[in-house]
Structure 1
């Protein structure tokens, strides 16, 4: 029959149908290959991307730790295969992981793990009781360290001899407690003796040793540079303790939705511990390290070669070491040590003053020129408007000497800025690093306003003006300074309300400087990623970026703004893997 005309037609049609079927099959295979199969697909969510072109999606597909597709549930179906984990978000809000641009994570973790801690609000009898318990619980320890007492503690409580109060229950142990800013300290007699601080010890250049007004003997209070005299003799934690602290940092951060953080004063033992975790695959977050430099009065150049050596030694995939920290002044609290353009209000002894400037203009400019040339982003502690101006002058010198390197240097704690300097942040490509989370009424803000004076002191944290001027703003917790936790949620709420998220202190702090919720979230996510030099990799939900995502117990845009600070993280993803999940 095949040789007949009919047979040949039938054979031809059969082959044609076979060819068509094969072509369709191959085309189908090609279509499937064009849609890669995801490792994980999240569906049925309200996912806030922080990308202006597509701010919301309901589903994402993740493969090899990065987003490969965004859209609705239907669009994700082609990325689901037999091995794909499909997670139904049940309508919950998800958003990029938080990037905390300024924290002291090891100080916070060590405080929680090893130190004698009490709340900022603790009264003298509560501190004595806590110290008594700590002494009893640590019979073999030579030192008891911890804190933190409120900035106005010794203003609100008349204590004839702070040193003797600690002596009354410390036994043979040396005691040192830091204040809420981390810049000032309180020591007992044993600690002062070990540090060699006596009646004859002169005050350091930018510090003060508190003294008994009648005898001249040290009374236990140490301000600014005087603290370094005592810290020099406190034994360093072991490497094992630092690694334990690093694990504590990661655990706390991931539970709060933090997938990136900058250690604002990173020291070698901390960087080594982070690197150890990273090599073991335990560092489920990005950690930028602003390498520490000597604190206090300085008129000589930094050791640039040592900084470069540390950058090379401690860098690893998730430990980022292209950053340096410089302290320019103290804090504008009752200690009155932030460098201000105008004098403070007089203190109890009638002294006003304008604070302390640790590094003179010429030396800071030389440091910035060299560090900028070597590729370091510099974070400069500038809590007073005078130190802000000097720091901006130094950055201007670096721009003139090196051209625009593209490095965005940061002025930390820049809450007081003279009007003449506001727009210089933009022209000099400088970031306003706002931290700690005290852009709302609180006891430490009361101390600041009383020291700086009204109305000037109340004009603190010009966030709205920064954004309107085009200044880039990054935010950080500054934990454990002035805050008990690195949580971002109270900071986001207070950005919008300028009120105390805990409701403990009434009123609003310069409410005209409030910003929107969208702006606040962007500061804590994408701007934070830029502060870590990772904006190309994280900080928003975008195809090709790392799947660093958090799922919340509430939609921040649907609840009253005063409920944002209570937000809880249900799940944290880092590079596509779940690194934190609440217990069912």
Structure 2
């Protein structure tokens, strides 16, 4: 009989294992779970050198998985950019930029966030001039809440070479005033004209990975998928893995096409990236496509016109960043090459187009076994819900917009209250047999990657912090065990690691989170306020202490 290296006992364990949903003790050896059960049954695995931790009734849950979070992007924001929170006004933002402008080195770029696209009128006819007033000699780029638009000053336009003669790139817009001069607002692919100037250095990326891992482990995350990786990001993640610093199961979607990266990444580069940076715990056999934009900038492809716009001029096909034939060809090619595709799709027309492309790939390639994902998936048509199960497609519900928050006002202003009420029909997706996974989309439209508020919001459809009243789609609330499964076993399956982690079950990786009490006995508000006391990854404490 193999003896346990560690036994955790007298705990209230939520295992995530339907065959044994509750336990009070767990034995660990070699980074794996040996057994779970009663304290007495597990105690027999004790031997010389076994460490026994009595939790005195505290809770233990499987390590959580975020299937869509821009880890490096968020960490870079934390460390190197001005971020005042989603409740900050534009005046607050300008004050923060003014303060940084007085400290920045000559010529140094200032990056800040977030401005609010639904309050665009506050910035005046030429928003660049507002930034010129507080930072006349420094290039400034301000990201909007969704990260799909930039507000820049005149010096930034000059550095990027953007003039009245610069054409709008396909899928993007350089906003212009009545004389044709750029106003300082860039949306979607037009951002790629500026973003290379904001790229962090390799040293900054290395620092950002360490910061990200510490934050994620502190929240109880033991796995995540990076939804949009370019080569410098992959190099930083792989270096952290090789150094033993990446205490997370990880997958990375390689950016085949993105509003943030300009041209399509050649398939030869995609293959090289996959082979060069893939590791046993870093799966790089994923790809990313963008099908539309976001609602605040009126670039999400909805079949129904935006409120306040002329329905006769509404053209959802024009909003698709990849037209249906080109999209189908892309998904077919990526599927044949062994890449699982994650497709950014916000509007219902974009979601439909993504499902059509998966259907085309199945028809042409047969069933590859790859479960392609529709990312965000906030507004699917009711008639498209059964197609997820039929096509073996995954609905990724992301970001945390299924309960009222600081961006809800903007959603309602842009889409109307009735449509926002239909956002993220998680309950209906599950009833239709869809496979559903969870993602925070941090830092886009999400203040943090804290999974506990996301979990609480899924089971209550209200703000667990109580700052924003009311509910969103209250009829779409789902039970705790179901919601937890989206964030554990669902995340593991989306990484091709089903059965390897995601449950506190014999044979699986010993990834666990210690919390203050019994999760099943907590209110949604208690769950949302949860602060992990310890996180174990592969049996090792990577945050806190037992």
Q: TM-score, normalised by structure 1?
A: 0.90
Q: Does 1:343 align with 2:305?
A: yes
Is residue 371 of structure 2 the alignment partner of residue 408 of structure 1?
yes
- Could you tell me whether the CA contact under 8 Å between 1:302 and 1:367 is conserved in 2? no
**Residue from 90, 95, 98 that aligns with 1:129:** 95
Please report how far the alpha carbon of residue 296 of structure 1 lies from its aligned counterpart in structure 2 after TM superposition. Answer: 4.1
Which of 212, 219, 243 aligns to 2:183? It is: 219
- The equivalent of 1:84 in structure 2 is 50
Q: Which stretch shows the higher mean deviation, 559-568 or 204-213? A: 204-213
CA distance in 2, matches of 1:81, 1:141: 64
Distance (whole Å) between structure 2 residues aligned to residue 426 and residue 71 of structure 1: 34
Q: Deviations over 1:138-167 (max 9, x none)?
A: 225521112112332324x25343111111
Tell me the SS of whatever aligns to 1:137. Answer: coil
How far apart are the structure 2 equivalents of 1:297 and 1:285?
26
- Larger RCO, structure (CA 8 Å, separation 6 or more): 2
Give the one of 358, 362, 376 matched to 2:339.
376
Please give the alpha-carbon distance, in whole angstroms, between the structure 2 residues aligned to 1:86 and 1:148. Answer: 47
2:8–2:52 contact (8 Å) kept in structure 1: yes
Q: Does the 8 A contact of 2:256 with 2:264 survive in 1?
A: no
Q: Distance in 1 between matches of 2:459 and 2:64?
A: 17
Contact 1:49 1:95 in 2 (8 A): yes
Aligned residue for 2:102, secondary structure, equals helix
Q: Determine if contact 1:265/1:292 at 8 Å carries over to the other structure.
A: yes
Query: For the aligned residues, what is the CA RMSD?
Result: 2.1
Match of 1:564 among 523, 527, 533: 527
Distance 1:224 1:295 in 2: 9
Structure 1 residue 549, shift from structure 2 partner: 0.6
Structure 1 segment 473-492 matched on structure 2, within 5 A: 473-492=436-455
Q: Is the 8 A contact 1:40 1:85 kept in 2?
A: yes
Work out which of the two has the higher radius of gyration on C-alpha atoms and give 1 or 2. Answer: 1
Query: Retained in 1: the 8 A contact 2:107–2:137?
Result: no
Q: Is the 8 A contact 1:246 1:270 kept in 2?
A: no
Deviations for 1:33-80, whole angstroms, at most 9, x for unmatched residues?
Answer: xx2111111100011111111001111111100011111111122211
- What's the secondary structure of 1:245's corresponding residue? helix
Instruction: Kindly provide the CA deviation profile for residues 221-269 of structure 1, in whole angstroms up to 9, marking residues without a partner as x.
Output: 111122122224x153221111111111100000000000000001111
Q: Does residue 41 of structure 2 align to residue 75 of structure 1?
A: yes
Partner residue, 1:315: 278
State yes or no: 1:150 paired with 2:116: yes
Aligned residues: 545
Q: Out of 7, 28, 32, which is 1:62 matched to?
A: 28
Q: Are 1:338 and 1:356, in contact at CA under 8 Å, matched by a contact in 2?
A: yes
* Partner of residue 234, structure 2: 271
**2:257/2:263 contact within 8 Å kept:** no
Measured in 1, the distance between the counterparts of 2:430 and 2:402 equals: 15
Equivalent residues of 1:299, 1:360 under 8 A apart: no
Is the contact made by 1:489 and 1:566 (CA closer than 8 Å) also made in structure 2? yes
Deviations 1:368-394 (A, max 9, x none): 112111211100001111111111111
Where does residue 523 of structure 1 map in the other structure? Answer: 486
Q: Give the alignment partner of residue 66 of structure 2, picking from 100, 103, 123.
A: 100
- Which one of 102, 105, 108 corresponds to residue 139 of structure 1? 105
Counterpart contact for 1:121–1:150, Cα < 8 Å: no
Q: Are 1:40 and 2:6 counterparts?
A: yes
- Given the alignment, which residue of 379, 392, 417 partners 2:355? 392
Q: Which position in structure 1 is the counterpart of 2:394?
A: 431
| Residue number in structure 2 paired with 1:548 | 511
1:162 aligned partner: 127
Note the C-alpha offset of 1:558.
Answer: 1.3
Whole-angstrom distance in 2 between the partners of 1:220 and 1:48: 51
Match of 1:29 in 2: none
Provide the C-alpha distance between the structure 2 equivalents of 1:484 and 1:299, rounded to a whole number of angstroms: 27
Q: Which runs of 5+ in 2 are unaligned?
A: none
Q: For residues 229 and 133 of structure 1, what CA distance do their matches in structure 2 show? A: 26
**2:163 matched to 1:198?**
yes
How far 1:396 sits from its partner (Å)?
0.5
CA distance in 2, matches of 1:167, 1:450: 28
1:337-365 per-position Cα deviation (integer Å, ceiling 9, x unaligned): 01111221235999755471111111111
Distance 1:111 1:348 in 2: 38
Residues in 1 aligned to 2:405 and 2:360: alpha-carbon distance in whole angstroms: 37
Match of 1:250 in 2: 213
- Indicate the residue corresponding to 1:4 in structure 2: none
Distance 2:263 2:242 in 1: 36
Which residue, out of 163, 185, 197, partners 2:150? 185
Instruction: Provide the C-alpha distance between the structure 2 equivalents of 1:510 and 1:520, rounded to a whole number of angstroms.
Output: 16
1:284 shift after superposition: 0.8
What is the deviation of 1:438? 0.7
